[in-house]
Structure 1
Amino acid sequence: MDIVKVFGDNVKIYRKKLQLSQEKLAEKAHLHRTYISAIECYKRSISLENIQRIADALEIETYKLFLECDKNENK
């Protein structure tokens, strides 16, 4: 399992479920839009604090961002 890829995919899936742009998610999480983009493109490993910020902004439990699942399952 590539945890960076799983995390990035899950951020994108949950963000789209809430119909949030990267910019809106970044705003809610108090992060920069390019930071969210880099996460979704697997270019960033992030701190625990920022993981929690993203989970809170997505209104989900943190652990869900680390669960490997079929992309079609979450749509």
Structure 2
Amino acid sequence: MEIRAIFAENLKKHRKAAGLSQEELAHIAEIERGYVSQLERRLNAPTIDMLAKLANAIGVEPYELLKPGQRIRKK
């Protein structure tokens, strides 16, 4: 699986596990909701700084958004 697909899948899984909508995540991370949607649909790739910002907003370590094949536990 390519890194963009891994990131997109993990972002969506962690966002949902945190109980956040795309709009809520965007608000916390101070970005546009459309950008979150683009990331989750693999239409865009984040910068390293944006990766850290999204991870912080969700409450995970940045590497967790790049780690292939992990299982997500709901909080």
TM-score for the superposition, normalised by structure 1: 0.91
SS in 2 for 1:28: helix
> What is residue 32 of structure 1 aligned with on the other side?
32
Q: Which amino acid aligns with 1:58?
A: I
When the two chains are superposed, the root-mean-square deviation of aligned CA atoms in Å is: 1.1
1:58 aligns with 2:58: yes
Measure the CA separation in 2 of the matches of 1:20 and 1:50.
17
Q: Deviations over 1:7-64 (max 9, x none)?
A: 0100000000011000000111111000000000000011111111100001111100
> What is residue 2 of structure 1 aligned with on the other side?
2
Unpaired segments ≥5 residues, structure 2: none
> What is residue 45 of structure 1 aligned with on the other side?
45
The list of structure 1 runs, each at least 4 consecutive aligned residues, that deviate by more than 2 angstroms after superposition, is: none
User: Percent identity of the aligned residues?
Assistant: 32
Unpaired segments ≥5 residues, structure 1: none
Measure the CA separation in 1 of the matches of 2:13 and 2:50.
18
TM-score for the superposition, normalised by structure 2: 0.91
Q: Which amino acid aligns with 1:60?
A: V
